[in-house]
Amino acid sequence: MDDIVRQLGYLCLGTRLRRLGERLQSDVQRLTESAGLTIQPGQYPLLAALDRSGPLTVNALVGAVGISQPGVTRALSRLVDMGLVEMNHAHRDQRHKTARLTALGQQAIERSKRDLWPSIEAAVEELCAGHSGPMLAQLDAMETALDAVPLHRRAGRHMHAAGDR
């Protein structure tokens, strides 16, 4: 079947970018699960912001990751349920509550930074390398490359290469 989203070009750019993002996140999810981590790929930006900056308010996290306040609040709630983040409830207004990593959250982010992130970053860099020209042509090339070798397999190659050093 024809790829209508690809054929419609710039008209469906947002859909195409979302599709590509979902595809990348799906492969990252496979990698986190294989590493025994329960973190969702979309949760990593919040954890990384808390790791880099220390405790942050919901508003500060909204600014740091560029997603909506309700989205940040929902994600933080899940991270609290997982035991990775704790919230300071001194404020009644959700936007002014402060989030910080728990010891378990700090361990999970350190493990992710050490065991997963380098290979994922290398795999995405590999996927993006060598593309030039119009954006749609670059997206075509990236999607075709992912069809040939999914991101989780690319990252796996980088994990094995790092282990050989």
Confidence of residue 159 (pLDDT cuts 50, 70, 90): confident
Do 121 and 113 form a contact (C-beta atoms < 8 A)?
A: no
Tell me the pLDDT band of 149, cut-offs 50, 70 and 90: very high
Map out the domains of the chain as residue ranges: 1-35+116-165, 39-102
pLDDT tens readout for residues 84-140: 999 987 656 655 789 999 999 999 999 999 999 999 999 998 888 887 888 888 888
Question: How many C-beta neighbours within 10 Å does residue 61 have?
Answer: 25
What is the DSSP-derived secondary structure letter of residue 93? S
- Residue 156's pLDDT is 84
Q: 40 Cβ partners below 8 Å, 6+ apart? A: 25, 29, 32, 78
Distance CA 66, CA 111 (A): 25
Stated pTM of the model:
0.82
More confident residue, 73 or 130: 73
DSSP secondary structure letters along 3-38: -HHHHTGGGGHHHHHHHHHHHHHHHHHHHHHHTT--
Separation CA 9–CA 39 (nearest Å):
33
pLDDT number for residue 105: 97
The CATH code belonging to domain 39-102 is 1.10.10.10
Q: DSSP characters for 97-133?
A: -EEEE-HHHHHHHHHHHHHTHHHHHHHHHHHHTT--S
Residue 97 contacts residue 108 (beta carbons within 8 Å): no
